[in-house]
């Protein structure tokens, strides 16, 4: 079920019987038809183990299940919304940036340390995003929030992309990420260019970058 973008800050989703979707709790703006919203204690799929996993990983954003038949409009905090359509690949995104997504997508959490080892963990700390990130896999649509507009940058094997950790929103594809530092003595004495840390993404896929260095 694709999301329809009403404007840059609102999306509309069709809900049909037998198919459910998840959204951040409280993100519904309006709806038509017969739709029910129930808090999702397990945070989507994965059952109790998934719930515990998310608790431990601190990647839990209160979610709700949206079911019934009708159309629902979503939006949150006046943030810019980017719709990403997945065709089998895995999307990596911070849980608090997720606005809504298809229930058919498989949810999981990934330990950042497993990509790039210790630097992967440092990455989470530097970017303030924690040690875990949420993954969504399968065929379906995801609505992701960002501060300001979002640009999509392709990553190809010969062209890695470097991203400011604060401006990073999400990425998909077969992508490795590592934290690269350009820390010189100038940064130590407080005369740096302000670009001491960068996230280097290489492989095949795409990265979404927001037009701002502010968190949500």
Residue whose token pair is 């990934």? 110
Residue whose token pair is 């129930």? 38
Is the Cβ of residue 136 or residue 209 nearer to another protein in the bound state?
209
Q: Is 182 in the site for another protein (CB under 8 A)?
A: yes
Residue 65 tokens read as 């299940």
CB neighbour list of residue 194: distance below 8 Å, 6 or more residues apart: none
Residue 130: CA count within 13 A, CB half-sphere = 17
Is the Cβ of residue 54 or residue 80 nearer to another protein in the bound state?
80
Q: Which of 129, 77, 84, 99 is nearest to 23 (CA)?
A: 99
What binding mask, one character per residue, do residues 160-179 give for another protein by CB under 8 A, x or -? xxxxx--x------------
Is the Cβ of residue 17 or residue 194 nearer to another protein in the bound state?
194
Helices (H), 102-189: 117-126, 185-188
Q: Is 4 in the site for another protein (CB under 8 A)?
A: no
- Report the nearest approach of another protein to the CB of residue 75 (Å): 16
Which one of 47-55, 66-74, 111-119, 147-155 is the stretch in contact with another protein (CB under 8 A)? 147-155
User: Residues in the site for another protein, rule: CB under 8 A?
Assistant: 80, 147-149, 151, 153, 159-164, 167, 182, 186, 191-195, 207, 209-214
């Amino acid at each position: 079920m694709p999301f329809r973008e009403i404007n840059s800050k609102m999306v509309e989703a069709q809900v049909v019987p037998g198919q459910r979707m998840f959204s951040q709790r409280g993100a519904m703006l309006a709806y038509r038809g017969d739709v029910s919203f129930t808090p999702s204690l397990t945070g989507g799929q994965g059952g109790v183990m998934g719930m515990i996993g998310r608790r431990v990983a601190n990647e839990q954003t209160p979610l709700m299940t949206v079911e019934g038949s009708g159309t629902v409009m979503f939006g949150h905090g006046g943030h810019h919304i980017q719709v990403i359509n997945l065709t089998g690949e895995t999307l990596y995104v911070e849980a608090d940036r997720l606005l809504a997504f298809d229930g058919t997508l498989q949810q999981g959490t990934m330990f950042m340390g497993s990509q790039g080892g210790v630097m992967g963990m440092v990455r989470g700390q530097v970017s303030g995003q924690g040690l875990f990130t949420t993954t969504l896999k399968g065929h379906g649509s995801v609505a992701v929030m960002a501060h300001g507009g979002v640009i999509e940058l392709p990553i190809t094997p010969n062209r890695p992309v470097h991203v400011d950790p604060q401006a990073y929103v999400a990425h998909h594809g077969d992508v490795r990420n590592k934290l690269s530092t350009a820390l010189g003595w100038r940064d130590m004495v407080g005369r740096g260019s302000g670009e001491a840390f960068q996230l280097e993404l290489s492989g095949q896929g795409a990265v979404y970058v927001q037009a701002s260095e502010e968190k949500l």
